Chains A and B, each alone.
Chain A
């Protein structure tokens, strides 16, 4: 076994974006070349190694070359330059239902898919039941997969990919279509994997997942590594870059409203007050990451004040995993006067009596403003991830459950 599971050395990949493509011999001979193209650089001299037993998250905007990198690791694309070496068996989940035959049943597709991973029928046979069980497809095992929903495709694909016992698992955003409980089990399985000394590479836009499940993150930008290291700092740097555009916009609009232009996010040491923790607990005081709707939640935002601060405003933004801004809790809007905060530590507590969110994954982002509400003193994007399951409310669509009653009025 070599030292690292994945070695990438000076890998470059350019795509030809054809303005006009000649796919016939006549045109090629007449023009002397195959169309006109522009080179698009999807990987620019990338080098990194991934040791055994590491979970690596790859993030970056669309078109940064994340999927190209993954396809090169999976040997679907060949680099133009450089070398990629992988130690052991690779299994790759790049696209939904890749390698499935739509007319085959789930069981037949397990054999077909397994064959693509270089497995034999006798090696696959003992795994069929556990794959079907993990994918929760017992009732549909004999139906052709063309009748499956995208979630079922994803479940089957993931279940097969992890069952062939790969040394390296490559995942590209496919989990996004699964439901919450399946995603959770996928992540659990990935962690088991990593703990067993195997390697996971996850390409995703779910920054919370990178935070929570990866040991390391790489931020790709235009085919090059922008930042590589601890997931927390990489994600934060990435978000700062992404949000730089947004904040410039909000400054503009607040200036237009006649307010003072905000000096934003002063994260330096000169800040009088910083937020240092966010705790979510149930009514009994237990810190959990999964709640049922209808439950009572206590959200505690811990602060450290170096100087006294005059009536700051504390806010907690709630975002769904897809980025939808669901709600913001604010001391100001709630009419709560924080008063002057003295030096030292303390907590802002937001008590939610009745959690009216539909099942899903939500992220909490605490924010502290000065008394005017214009200046942001400190903020943390997507700091804590909370999962909501079905409890008191049966609504599954949308984000929130609105209070209300139904009645039927008949015209006489």
Chain B
């Protein structure tokens, strides 16, 4: 794996090429261009703000911030998986004709979603600072290793699934359904504490969902303005590094036959 990673260094320019393509090509020819990729989370922000603070008049103050602090990281995960899983199949022509480290394709798609995520975060933070009367700088700093771990875990999963998708095209559709289920199994439209009041067993299961530590860390830093506890950050790092290594190892096992299976 070390030799594979060191080979990637020589392909930095190709990676940037893929990344800018993944960032912009979907919107090529449209007037707003890349701005479209921010449209979805922005509209979600608006809808949730209206629905929960005006219509339901939620007990929770600033419910939109509470929700978005967890929803934006989840949205990154969701776009990375749904766009990244078909990426090897979609680039079959390239894989059959030229050599390059194949992992660049799922990696660049994940990175493109991550760039969008960072942009939406930049939009969210001033709104959160206004609504929650300030931010906790230290708490935000701890989000850097959390976000990096989340990127690694997602990249590992996307590599694994994109390679499996070459062998079984079901993976693409299956992952779409699982993402929907996962959305409700992650504390986004509710809080972990709220579930705990209803049923302790369900709370435990939701806490075991590997995405929960990440969304909870974001929520605690942005909404509650608290530094996530060390155990939580440690959990994120563990999932991030472990997820990446497992995903990459499986990918390396499967990548040999990619060209002929496509």
Chain A residue, CB-CB nearest to B170? A25
Per-residue interface assignment for chain A, residues 44 to 82, with 1 indicating a CB less than 8 Å from any chain B CB and 0 otherwise:
000000000000000000000000000100111110000
Q: Chain A nearest CB: distance from B92 CB in Å?
A: 12
Per-residue interface assignment for chain A, residues 16 to 51, with 1 indicating a CB less than 8 Å from any chain B CB and 0 otherwise:
100000011110100000100000000000000000
Asked if residues A76 and B96 are in contact (CB atoms below 8 Å), the reply is yes
Asked if residues B168 and A78 are in contact (CB atoms below 8 Å), the reply is no
Asked if residues B13 and A119 are in contact (CB atoms below 8 Å), the reply is yes
Known: A77-B259, A121-B13. A24 touches B98 (CB 8 A): no
Asked if residues A92 and B99 are in contact (CB atoms below 8 Å), the reply is yes
Check if B138 is an interface residue, CB within 8 A of chain A.
no
Bound-state CA distance A16–B171 (Å) is: 22
Asked if residues A78 and B17 are in contact (CB atoms below 8 Å), the reply is no
Taking a contact as CB atoms closer than 8 A, the residue among B13, B97, B256 that contacts A78 in the complex is: B256
Binding site for B on A (CB under 8 A): 15-16, 23-26, 28, 34, 71, 74-78, 90, 92, 94-95, 98-99, 103, 111-112, 114-116, 118-121
Q: Which chain B residues border A119 with CB–CB below 8 Å?
A: 13
Chain B residue, CB-CB nearest to A13? B260
Q: Which chain B residues border A15 with CB–CB below 8 Å?
A: 260
Q: Which chain B residues border A34 with CB–CB below 8 Å?
A: 167
Asked if residues B14 and A115 are in contact (CB atoms below 8 Å), the reply is yes
Q: Which chain A residues border B11 with CB–CB below 8 Å?
A: 115, 118
Bound-state CA distance A98–B91 (Å) is: 12
Q: 29 A-B Cβ contacts within 8 A?
A: A23-B167, A23-B168, A24-B168, A24-B170, A25-B168, A25-B171, A26-B170, A28-B168, A34-B167, A71-B259, A74-B99, A76-B96, A76-B99, A76-B259, A77-B260, A78-B256, A78-B257, A92-B98, A94-B98, A98-B98, A99-B98, A111-B17, A112-B17, A115-B13, A116-B14, A116-B98, A118-B100, A120-B12, A121-B13
Q: Which chain A residues border B13 with CB–CB below 8 Å?
A: 114-115, 119-121
Asked if residues B169 and A98 are in contact (CB atoms below 8 Å), the reply is no
Asked if residues B97 and A95 are in contact (CB atoms below 8 Å), the reply is yes
Taking a contact as CB atoms closer than 8 A, the residue among B28, B94, B174 that contacts A99 in the complex is: B94
Bound-state CA distance A74–B259 (Å) is: 12
Known: A15-B260, A71-B259, A118-B11. A76 touches B98 (CB 8 A): yes
Binding site for A on B (CB under 8 A): 10-14, 17, 28, 94-100, 167-171, 174, 256-257, 259-260
Q: A34-B167, A78-B256, A90-B99 are in contact. List 9 more A-B contacts (CB 8 A).
A: A25-B174, A26-B170, A76-B99, A77-B260, A94-B97, A95-B97, A98-B97, A111-B17, A116-B100
Q: Chain B nearest CB: distance from A171 CB in Å?
A: 14
Q: Which chain A residues border B14 with CB–CB below 8 Å?
A: 115-116, 118
Q: Chain B nearest CB: distance from A223 CB in Å?
A: 15
Q: Chain A nearest CB: distance from B105 CB in Å?
A: 12
Q: Chain A nearest CB: distance from B33 CB in Å?
A: 15
Q: Chain A nearest CB: distance from B193 CB in Å?
A: 38
Asked if residues A115 and B17 are in contact (CB atoms below 8 Å), the reply is yes
Bound-state CA distance A261–B10 (Å) is: 65
Chain B residue, CB-CB nearest to A121? B13
Q: Which chain A residues border B257 with CB–CB below 8 Å?
A: 78
Q: Chain B nearest CB: distance from A162 CB in Å?
A: 16
Interface centre among B97, B99, B171 (most CB of A within 10 A): B99
Taking a contact as CB atoms closer than 8 A, the residue among B99, B171, B259 that contacts A116 in the complex is: B99
Asked if residues A99 and B17 are in contact (CB atoms below 8 Å), the reply is no
Q: Which chain B residues border A111 with CB–CB below 8 Å?
A: 17
Chain A residue, CB-CB nearest to B168? A25
Interface centre among B94, B98, B169, B259 (most CB of A within 10 A): B98
Q: Chain A nearest CB: distance from B10 CB in Å?
A: 4
Bound-state CA distance A301–B168 (Å) is: 64
Q: Which chain A residues border B10 with CB–CB below 8 Å?
A: 118
Q: Which chain B residues border A76 with CB–CB below 8 Å?
A: 95-99, 259
Bound-state CA distance A401–B165 (Å) is: 57
Chain B residue, CB-CB nearest to A123? B13
Chain A residue, CB-CB nearest to B171? A25
Bound-state CA distance A98–B259 (Å) is: 14
Bound-state CA distance A133–B259 (Å) is: 34
Q: Which chain B residues border A78 with CB–CB below 8 Å?
A: 256-257
Bound-state CA distance A387–B184 (Å) is: 73
Q: Chain B nearest CB: distance from A70 CB in Å?
A: 11
Q: Which chain A residues border B98 with CB–CB below 8 Å?
A: 76, 92, 94, 98-99, 116
